[in-house]
Amino acid sequence: MNDDIFDKPSEAEIDKIHEVDLKEKMETFYIDYAMSVIASRALPDVRDGLKPVQRRVLYSMIELNNGPDKPHRKSARIVGDTMGKYHPHGDSSIYGALVNLAQDWSTRYPLVDGHGNFGSIEGDGAAAMRYTEARLQKITQEAYLADLDKDVVDFVPNFDETEKEPSVLPVKIPNLLVNGSEGIAVGMATSIPPHNLGEVIDAVKAYMLNNEITTKELMRYLKGPDFPTGGIVINKDELEDIYETGTGKIKLRGKVEFQKGKAGKTNVVITEIPYTMIGANIAKFLSDVAALSETKKTQDIVDISNQSSKEGIRIVIELRKDADPENFVNMLYKKTRLEDTFGVNMLAIANGRPETMGLKQIIKANVDFQFEVATRKYTNLLAKEQERKEIQEGLIKACNVIDLVIEILRGSKDRAMAKACLVEGKVDGIKFKSKESRIMAAQL
């Protein structure tokens, strides 16, 4: 082929060509992307226990004056404000976070009060955001968003630098332990179980009284996880190691009761389920139980019914009259998700970088954060009071010599002359009733 048919680049065009190492560039871009996902999307901050989208949703709601004492507002309005001002991503991710914060089977202590169809424990999705409404829970306003106006946390520019948003919320409780967190980043994931609020606070108080306290001693107050769906932890002897290292596996079982049925039959009633069973896994559990009968692995099942309601979980399995309930339940533990594993990996953002933390480390980080917030709060309040101090002292002195002040005001030709006398003791041009008044005014 004749090369002359192609136009050769000019010298000016050659100057615009930059040679780059593709491998190096790809590594740099991928690391930047990974760190963005890790620090700005998927992992919670150890201080407030919130991911950026959750923090921005709650801040948008308080900015909209959408507190617990106000009427519910359309979820679409909350999502729109969050997306337009603070979170430049898809509306589905923002609404998903809002819904999750309102579901009492997903979040141990819901932070949002939802009004309308916010889904169900069996995996039904929430209604579209144009139909549902929401407002903040009382605990959210009092323990998560209080004192934001007192400069207790740093505010940073939003994505287009037209607004300011808090880099962290001044949460008064260890939310990372209380509500837990789950998230998948790039090359790492977090899975933190929720805990009972009272037990967590007792553990924090114990740490504050003794900084050298061990994880084993902390567990005298914090017994273990407290999932919103209940369930029973069967490997309690492994919890100490899990809380010490921040990683491990918690084995959960559903809570089972035996009740007398019709004609002497026994009903196996499941009232609590493992946390990992919420959503579509409940339907899978029912189908797995039915499959046990269909595949002849058991002949004991007469009927299965899901009687769950707003009052809670209630799955009833009716057994044959001569069945062994204990043996049947043990088979359920082995063959179905009535016994399941919750993987623990207590990974969070601490000092701007991801870190796997044990129970004591998380509590320490929270106590240090509370100390920082309290210090900033009262330092700022003191500064404001000191600014007012001179004015207050001046008013006190003015009240002590109120008659002289009135005489100066009446004897002055204008406001500037009166101010010069009161502030600097200049008496020139002011008419006084007596020499004593002039001498006293000069001392002001």
Task: State which H helix or E strand residue 368 sits in.
Answer: helix 359-400
Is 131 a residue of the active site?
A: yes
Which residue in 33, 131, 207, 275 is the catalytic one?
Answer: 131
**Residue linked to tokens 């389920």:** 273
CA distance 407 to 430: 9
Task: State which H helix or E strand residue 304 sits in.
Answer: strand 301-306
Write out the two tokens for 128: 């579209």
Write out the two tokens for 145: 């968003």
Query: 183, 42 in Cβ contact below 8 A?
Result: yes
- From the CA atom positions of the chain, what is the Rg in Å? 33
Query: 271, 312 in Cβ contact below 8 A?
Result: yes
DSSP code at position 45: B
CA distances from 213 to 173, 220, 232 (A): 19, 11, 27
CA distance 422 to 289: 90
CA distance 27 to 84: 32
CA distance 436 to 440: 6
| 194 backbone dihedrals φ, ψ, rounded to 5° | -80, 160
| DSSP per residue, 47-93 | TT---HHHHHHHHHHHHTT--TTS--EEHHHHHHHHHHHT--S-HHH
- Taking the CB of residue 433, how many other CB atoms lie within 10 A of it? 11
CA distance 180 to 191: 8
Q: Which of the residues are catalytic? A: 131
